Amino acid sequence: MSKKHKKRIVKAGLPPETLVYTGDRAQTPPVVHTIAYNPDFCNTFNDYRPEKAAPDRNLWVDVLNISDVDFIKTVGEQFNIHPLALEDVVNTQQRAKMDEYDNGLFIVLPHIRYDERWVELQFEQVSMFVGQDVLVTFQEDPDDTLQIVRQRLGEASNRMRKKGTDYLAYSVMDSIIDNYFVALDKIETSVFEVENSIYAASNQHFKAKIFSLKHTLSQFKNKVQPLREAVARMHRTDCPILRQEDAVYLRDIADHVAQVLDHIDNFKDQLINIESLYQSEISNRMNNVMKLLTVISTIFIPLSFVAGVYGMNFENMPELKWHYGYFFVLGIMFITMIGMLIYFRVKKMI
């Protein structure tokens, strides 16, 4: 996150609507897919062809890699995207959001992966401009999150072909949110692993694991919570691009987002419970250590004292001369020891 901040600071001195890419991906040329489709046909081009827009069809321009701000600006001007929206496309610190402009909606949502190598969430910002006959999507990463949606659009029988750009946008959102469940599942596995290691012996890194998982869940929630607000705002908007007949699909997305948040809260609760259980296990072990110390000390310190007494060198110590003095003292010591062990057993200390 630090690097992004750095860029954000660079940006601090600049006027609004200045395009600066604040992400940390390498600066490579963008890859663009252009798809023109209507119920009858679907043409896919692996480059940027804005000229394919026409009144009888919908156009989907899918831009991968947003580090080339000049290209982003070109696309924006072509499709009449507001400069502030374009600024958000390249400023990858955005919260998920839905902004309504005169000629369309601008939507930002995070694509979330759980990277096992670094035990952390990886976020990619996906932005969409939904116009009347056009959808422009911007993916931060070059690896192609939306390929599956493009494939499906290619299938002749697919419902997407018959519906407007709003339905296409919903499909993109749904495909991204479906991946949240993949991340959640991996996180669940980690939570279960941690839970199972409570009573295991070497818990050196137990707390650190809990720490990472809690952090991960906080990040996840912070990213998804604004998405819920954004989807709710899409529900309320009366923008004509979002057709009334497709509202059920938006409701479906809202349900999925709510499920994701439910799962996150569940996992958080579980982690808190696990932590408290672990804490109590640790204190239990400590208590056992202290009990051992107490039992040993309480038994042997008085006995040592008795031995010490008869180790004194006074000339006149009558017991020392008794023939069975030694065995008598040994017996007393033994009985005391047994008595104490019984006492501790009764008191449940051993």
Considering only residues 267 through 306, tell me which ones interact with a copy of itself, judged by CB under 8 A: 269-270, 273, 275-277, 279-283, 285-287, 289-294, 296-298, 300-305
Per-residue interface string for the shown chain with a copy of itself, residues 7-26, x marking contact by CB under 8 A: -xx-xxx-xxx---------
Q: How far is the CB of 163 from a copy of itself (least distance, A)?
A: 12
Among 46, 56, 156, 313, binds a copy of itself (CB under 8 A): 313
User: Please, which of residues 242-271 interact with a copy of itself by CB under 8 A?
Assistant: 248-249, 251-252, 255, 258-259, 262, 265-266, 269-270
Q: If binding means CB under 8 A, how many residues of this protein chain bind a copy of itself?
A: 112
Concatenate the DSSP letters of all residues of 291-338 into one string. Answer: HHHHHHHHHHHHHHHHHHHTT---S--HHHHSTTHHHHHHHHHHHHHH
Distance CA 8, CA 20 (A): 9
How many C-beta atoms lie closer than 10 Å to residue 60's C-beta?
A: 26
Residue 69 engages a copy of itself in binding (rule: CB under 8 A) = no
**Contacts with 339 (C-beta within 8 Å, 6 or more apart), sequence order:** none
User: Please, which of residues 112-171 interact with a copy of itself by CB under 8 A?
Assistant: 148, 152, 158-160, 170-171
Distance CA 165, CA 60 (A): 8
Residue 307 engages a copy of itself in binding (rule: CB under 8 A) = yes
Q: How far is the CB of 30 from a copy of itself (least distance, A)?
A: 25
Which run of H or of E encompasses 138? strand 134-139
Q: Which is nearer to a copy of itself, 49 or 256 (CB)?
A: 256
**Cross-strand bridge partners of residue 32:** 63
Q: How far is the CB of 65 from a copy of itself (least distance, A)?
A: 23
Q: Helix or strand or coil: residue 238?
A: coil
Distance CA 82, CA 134 (A): 15
Q: Which is nearer to a copy of itself, 232 or 329 (CB)?
A: 329
C-alpha distance across the termini of the chain, in Å: 52
User: Please, which of residues 320-349 interact with a copy of itself by CB under 8 A?
Assistant: 320-326, 329-330, 333, 348-349
Residue 52 engages a copy of itself in binding (rule: CB under 8 A) = no
The radius of gyration of the chain's CA atoms, rounded to the nearest angstrom, is 35
Among 24, 99, 120, 133, binds a copy of itself (CB under 8 A): 99
Among 73, 214, 228, 243, binds a copy of itself (CB under 8 A): 214
User: Please, which of residues 169-188 interact with a copy of itself by CB under 8 A?
Assistant: 170-171, 174, 178-179, 181-182, 184-185, 188
Q: Which is nearer to a copy of itself, 46 or 313 (CB)?
A: 313
Q: Helix or strand or coil: residue 349?
A: coil
Q: How far is the CB of 47 from a copy of itself (least distance, A)?
A: 26
Q: Which is nearer to a copy of itself, 7 or 25 (CB)?
A: 7
Sign of CA dihedral 217, 222, 224, 228: positive
Q: How far is the CB of 234 from a copy of itself (least distance, A)?
A: 15
Distance CA 137, CA 118 (A): 28
Q: How far is the CB of 48 from a copy of itself (least distance, A)?
A: 26
Q: Which is nearer to a copy of itself, 1 or 156 (CB)?
A: 1
Q: How far is the CB of 287 from a copy of itself (least distance, A)?
A: 5
Q: How far is the CB of 175 from a copy of itself (least distance, A)?
A: 8
Q: How far is the CB of 81 from a copy of itself (least distance, A)?
A: 12
